[in-house]
Amino acid sequence: MSDAETPPTTEPTEPNEQQPTSKPEFEPVSVFDDGATMDLRPGADNCYKCSVCDTACPVAEVDDDFPGPKFQGPEQWRLKRKEGSEIDDSIMSCSNCMRCDDACPSSVPLSQMHNTARGEYVEEQMDKLSVEYVRNRILANYRTSAWFASKLPRLANFAMNFGPARWLMEKAMGVTSEREFPAFATQTFREWWRERGGADASRENARTARERRGEAVDAEKKVAYFHGCYSNYNTPEVAKALVRVFESFGYEIVAPEQRCSGTPMFANGMLADAERAAEVNVSSFADLVSEGYDAVASCTSCSMALRQEYPELFDIDGIEDVAENTFEALEYLRIQEDLEGAIADASVEEQAFAYHAPCHARNQGLDRQALELFRELDGVVVEDVGDSCSGISGTYGWKEEKYETSMKIGGDMFEHMHDAAGDVGMTECPTCAMQMEHGTGYEIKHPLQLLEEAIC
């Protein structure tokens, strides 16, 4: 059993007592540092109240009770100048889509403020015995549930979608019964990877590909794959596509020990859980980065967490190196290889896709990459379904009280998907994929799967 297949631990540990790394614009936070040194006020002072962030917020657009990112960020942090002021509970209605970050013309660190405020709210003001806390903790630690489910996937798939069980989960735990639980794979990606021969097999495949491509057999083409939880437990076909595509370009792949990227933990204010996961991930990937590997992720929220949220929120040895050397998979190949050239002569079955750019891809400047790339692929039409948020935001749309909001936010995307020529969806984010499928009934693919079809 590999490390990544060991049962995940979720026991609470002591609060983080580490100090943050410094940045020029403002002093980042130490989230649980006795509540005394958390200080994002200099960042708050950059806000000149233009309200652009509020107009970009998908939750504020459909929920009149949500005060919006300007309040959640700079205003809340200004209020904190008063002794004893508490975090407003509306922070739990922010979905952590991070669109406000991108929208702000004054580089106010909005999502860092939101994550920090949410962490403080959960840590200091939330009843740890409340149904909401327990539900959020379970949702945030998806990897734990997925690990257990992966031991008996067929039974889990039946039980998780058994009507009376779903009714009970909604009534007792507040997990919406409106959604179908995603199926667990009968073989996880890591099981497949081990059975295939792991890094040794990948090295051989990569060498063969480099020979075929006329490249130096000993060329340094090495990537460390951050597959995340969903590709491991639910959609191993996406992870397998990444392996095959990267190997075909001559890359040797390793799949190091890893935990959840922390994305659902940030969104639920479970920052101590997120930091424990980040420590494992940074430790694994920092060693590889120092050996010349780059980190690649197939999920845009995972690459976002490693690049932005980790260094904003935690102080872990090697965190900056990992952040600087992490890439989303398609982004990496477009930088390193002539990807457009590679697919220009490929032929695939004629097909049309309705493409949705996840908010976290947008934040990394990756929202056009699949559209631009597949323009070069004969017989394929990839149509952009607009810049709206899908509305699910990870665990957000799974909460009974947020389900309607989530579906209202996704309304524009569903409509544009129906208007698009294709009846297959495409996106890089697994939870956006869930929402797209839920709202339209379409099958959803990852761009790596189409790339695999074209070049492997």
For residue 257, give the DSSP letter.
-
Contact at 8 Å (CB) between 294 and 223? yes
Taking the complex as a whole, the smallest distance from the CB of residue 391 to ligand SF4 amounts, in Å, to: 10
Report the nearest approach of ligand SF4 to the CB of residue 106 (Å).
4
- Coil, strand, or helix at residue 122? helix
- Contacts (Cβ under 8 Å, ≥6 apart) of 143: 8, 229, 233, 259, 260
x-or-dash string of contact with ligand SF4, 71-110, rule CB under 6 A: -xxx-------------------xxxxxxx--xx-x-x-x
The CB-of-322 to ligand SF4 minimum distance in angstroms stands at 23
Interface with ligand SF4 (CB under 6 A), residue total 29
Per-position x/- string for 205-234, each x denoting binding to ligand SF4 as judged by CB under 6 A, each - no binding: ------------------------------
Within 88-220, residue ranges assigned H as helices are: 99-103, 110-120, 131-140, 142-151, 153-160, 163-168, 189-196, 198-212
Q: How far is the CB of 272 from ligand SF4 (least distance, A)?
A: 21
Name the residue nearer to ligand SF4 (CB basis): 236 or 394.
Answer: 394
Q: Crossing angle for the helix pair 447-455 and 329-336, nearest 10 degrees?
A: 40
Distance of CA 211 to the CA centre of its chain: 35
Closer to ligand SF4 by CB, 293 or 310: give it: 310
> If binding is defined by CB under 6 A, does position 51 make contact with ligand SF4?
yes
Residue among 99 and 445 whose Cβ is closer to ligand SF4: 99
3-state secondary structure of 306: helix
Alpha helix ranges (H) inside 17-98: 41-44, 52-56, 58-62, 69-70, 76-79
296 or 305: CB nearest ligand SF4: 305
Starting at the edge strand found earlier in the chain, the sheet holding 252-254 runs 252-254, 222-226, 294-297, 326-328
For residue 363, the minimal CB distance to ligand SF4 (Å) is: 10
Question: Token pair of 171, please?
Answer: 């009534």
Q: Is 53 in the site for ligand SF4 (CB under 6 A)?
A: yes
**Rounded to the nearest whole angstrom, what is the least distance from the CB of residue 345 to ligand SF4 in the complex?**
41
392 binds ligand SF4 (CB under 6 A): no
Given 3-state DSSP classes, what are the helix, strand and coil percentages for the chain, each rounded to the nearest 5? 55, 5, 40
- Inter-residue contact 79 to 28 (CB < 8 Å): no
For 291, residues 6+ apart whose C-beta sits below 8 A from its C-beta are 222
Q: Cβ 127 to ligand SF4, closest distance in Å?
A: 23
Q: Using the minimum distance from each CB to ligand SF4, give the nearer residue, 23 or 49.
A: 49
- Residue 445 host element (H or E): strand 443-445
Rounded distance between C-alpha atoms, residue 3 and residue 193, angstroms:
13
Distance between CA atoms of 235 and 241, rounded to whole angstroms?
10
Check if the beta carbon of residue 439 is closer than 8 Å to that of residue 415. Answer: no
- Contact between residue 192 and residue 236 where contact means Cβ atoms under 8 Å apart: yes
Residue 109 CB, shortest distance to ligand SF4, in Å, is 9
Closer by beta carbon to ligand SF4, 234 or else 364: 364
Is the CB of 53 or the CB of 241 nearer to ligand SF4?
Answer: 53
Closer residue to ligand SF4 in complex, CB, 111/308: 111
CB closer to ligand SF4 out of 284 and 363:
363
- Least separation in angstroms between residue 56's CB and ligand SF4 is 6
The 10-49 contact track toward ligand SF4, x by CB under 6 A, reads -------------------------------------xxx
- Cα–Cα dist 1/15, whole Å: 30
Q: Considering the complex, state which of residue 24 and residue 214 has its C-beta at the smaller distance from ligand SF4.
A: 24
Please identify, using beta-carbon distances, which residue of 103 and 455 lies nearer to ligand SF4.
Answer: 103
- Any contact of residue 117 with ligand SF4 (CB under 6 A)? no
69 binds ligand SF4 (CB under 6 A): yes
Among 30, 111, 363, 364, binds ligand SF4 (CB under 6 A): 111
Mapping DSSP to helix (H, G, I), strand (E, B) and coil, where does residue 318 land? Answer: coil
Query: What are the residues binding ligand SF4 (CB under 6 A)?
Result: 47-53, 56-57, 59, 69-70, 72-74, 94-100, 103-104, 106, 108, 110-111, 114
